[in-house]
Amino acid sequence: MATDANLTRKGRGRPKGSPNKLGKAAKDVIAEAAAELGGAERLIAWAKLDPLNERAFWATIYPKLLPLTVSGDPENPLGFQVVERRIVKPD
- Higher pLDDT among residues 33 and 78, named by residue: 33
Judge whether residue 4 has pLDDT over 70.
no
Give 15's contacts (C-beta < 8 A, 6+ positions apart).
none
The domain locations on the chain are 39-65
d(CA 6, CA 72): 45
The secondary structure element, H or E, covering residue 23 is: helix 21-36
Q: Is pLDDT of 11 > 80? A: no
pLDDT in tens, 17-64: 777 777 888 888 988 999 999 999 999 999 999 999 999 999 999 988
Of residues 53 and 9, which shows the higher confidence score? 53
